[in-house]
Amino acid sequence: MTKHNIRTSIGNIFVLLLVFVMLVPVIYMILMSFRTGEEIAADPLGMPSGLFLGNYINTLESMNYFRSVANSVGITLSVTVIVAFVGSLAAYPLARSTNAWGRAFIMLVALGLATPAFVTITPIYVIFRQVGLLDNYVGIILAFTALNLPLAVFFYVGFIGAIPRDLEEAAKLDNCTDFQVFWHVIRPLLGPATATLSLFVMLMVWNDFTYPLLLLTDPDKFTVMISVYRFVGNHNIEPDLLFPAAVLGSLPLLIIFVIFQRRIVSGVTAGAVK
């Protein structure tokens, strides 16, 4: 074995270890979802004795699953699309501005990036109560959009800065207005950035439950994570419902990623600008 081979082998072992550590909770969750409540209570670390699907049937009946998945999908996709569009549109002039105001504004955006989500929830709640956006799809979408926009702007400013200005000037000579330059030339080149950003935003929105918990009250508007969280009671956990619910709650996101994986990976590696 050459030195190089030994080094890659050691590297591989570490990667496998890391993957294992990350997957343990997920595997545990999936395994437990097939065991009855009594089995789990008797032996929390045991293997399932068979593919017991009764949990899933019970869970599906008690968690309003399809309605909440539809809510989550709708909210997540809306937020992702709006964040990508508004974020890139805002980032374009910021990335091109050379004066002090532009840079100061970018710092302000970075400040938004550093603000924890639970700090903004109180003012958002108060404002939404005033303007009647509580328990409202538009409200929750707006809140999530505001929460994720700083990340998007920051992200896009870096990417747009790397696009040669020549392209914009060529487009100006090709009769484009400023917005047309953005739409026909800048936006298509942001594919890789948008793919990566969407990943972050979708994960964040799908998995967050503080915002929907506080901003939504109608059970028909609940997102899937709220539905899952309902099985975590104040004093006790119902494992035979919680584990299947957790699996079901992450499943749609997983499916979306599998479908778009090709695009996300190819987008990240494409290197559009050259």
Partner 1 sequence: MAELNIRNAIKRYGPVEVIHGIDLDIADGEFCVFVGPSGCGKSTLLRMIAGLEQTSEGQISIAGRDVTHAEPAKRGVAMVFQTYALYPHMTVRQNMSFGLKIGGTEKTEIARKVDEAARILKLGDYMDRKPKALSGGQRQRVAIGRAIVRQPEVFLFDEPLSNLDAELRVEMRVEIARLHNQLGATMIYVTHDQVEAMTMADKIVVLRDGRIEQVGSPVGLYEDPDNLFVAGFIGSPRMNFFAGKVTDMHDAGVTVTLPRLGDVAVPVATDAPLEIGHAVTVGVRPEHFDPSGEITAQLAIDVVENLGGVSYAYSTSQDNAPPVIIEWRGKNRPRQGGTVAVNFDAGCALLFDTASGLRLR
Least distance from partner 1 to the Cβ atom of residue 169, Å = 5
Q: Which is nearer to partner 1, 86 or 189 (CB)?
A: 189
Q: Which is nearer to partner 1, 135 or 169 (CB)?
A: 169
Token digits of residue 227: 């539905």
Question: What are the CA-CA distances from residue 145 to residues 51, 219, 235, 274 (Å)?
Answer: 41, 22, 34, 32
Least distance from partner 1 to the Cβ atom of residue 161, Å = 16
Which residues bind to partner 1, rule: CB under 8 A?
164, 166-167, 169-176, 180, 184-185, 188-189, 272-274
Q: Which is nearer to partner 1, 68 or 194 (CB)?
A: 194
Least distance from partner 1 to the Cβ atom of residue 267, Å = 12
Q: What is the dihedral of CA 19, 25, 30, 35, to 10 degrees?
A: 140
Q: In terms of DSSP H, where are the helices of the chain? A: 3-32, 37-42, 54-62, 65-96, 100-114, 117-131, 137-161, 165-173, 178-180, 187-189, 191-207, 210-215, 224-229, 239-270
Q: Which is nearer to partner 1, 67 or 96 (CB)?
A: 96
CA distance 244 to 175: 57
Least distance from partner 1 to the Cβ atom of residue 237, Å = 51
Q: Which is nearer to partner 1, 159 or 229 (CB)?
A: 159
Least distance from partner 1 to the Cβ atom of residue 175, Å = 4
Q: Which is nearer to partner 1, 183 or 209 (CB)?
A: 183
Number of Cβ within 10 Å of residue 219's Cβ equals 12
Least distance from partner 1 to the Cβ atom of residue 256, Å = 25
Number of Cβ within 10 Å of residue 241's Cβ equals 22
Nearest to 213 by CA among 202, 229, 201: 229
